Amino acid sequence: MKEMPKTYIRNLVSRWRNYIQNEKWQIIVRKFWCLPNNYNELKSIDPWLYKTLSESKLIILKGDINYQKALGDYNRNPEIPLSIALDSFHLTNTVFVRILKSDLICGLDKTTAKKLDTFIRNISKGYLGIIQFTDKPQQPQCLLE
């Protein structure tokens, strides 16, 4: 982002502000975000939030801790697709914006996953950032119709 021309950033920020003002984007303040529970417990702890997120077109989650909670804090094989690692928290299209502070990560291709040892050495320094997207899971098809 440092390399990007400032006007580009300014335009981007103003577009995002408009999304919030026009309620295209909504920031949801909820007690659940600060609880120690993983996101697979969301449905039972805060059914309203679960329903609201499920009905959204896109969820944008920021921060390393949210990534950890969404993956159930399991350090899985980094090549496992994010959609599978998310398990019961894959409610809709989801974007994670994160500076890595923990070594858990999924959804990497083979080549990137092989470089993981080098990455991990840099994690605690906060040098690595990642934006990951996973699209809405397919509805199960009814085969009996």
Ligand X SMILES: O=P(O)(O)OC[C@@]1(O)O[C@H](CO)[C@@H](O)[C@@H]1O
Binding site for ligand X (CB under 6 A): 63-65, 99, 101-102
Tell me how far, at minimum, the Cβ of 57 lies from ligand X, in Å.
24
Residue among 63 and 72 whose Cβ is closer to ligand X: 63
Residue among 102 and 112 whose Cβ is closer to ligand X: 102
Residue among 116 and 136 whose Cβ is closer to ligand X: 116
DSSP-assigned states of every residue in 9-66: HHHHHHHHHHHHHTTSS-----GGGGSS--GGGHHHH-HHHHHHHHT-SEEEEESHHH
Residue among 45 and 130 whose Cβ is closer to ligand X: 130
Tell me how far, at minimum, the Cβ of 55 lies from ligand X, in Å.
25
Nearest to 130 by CA among 92, 91, 104, 110: 104
Tell me how far, at minimum, the Cβ of 90 lies from ligand X, in Å.
20
DSSP 111: H
Residue among 53 and 61 whose Cβ is closer to ligand X: 61
Q: State the residue for tokens 């959204």.
A: 56
Structure tokens at 73: 């804090």
Tell me how far, at minimum, the Cβ of 39 lies from ligand X, in Å.
13
Question: Measuring CA to CA, how many Å separate 145 from each of 23, 137, 138, 140, 142?
Answer: 39, 21, 18, 13, 6
Tell me how far, at minimum, the Cβ of 75 lies from ligand X, in Å.
14
59 pairs with which residues across the strands? Answer: 94
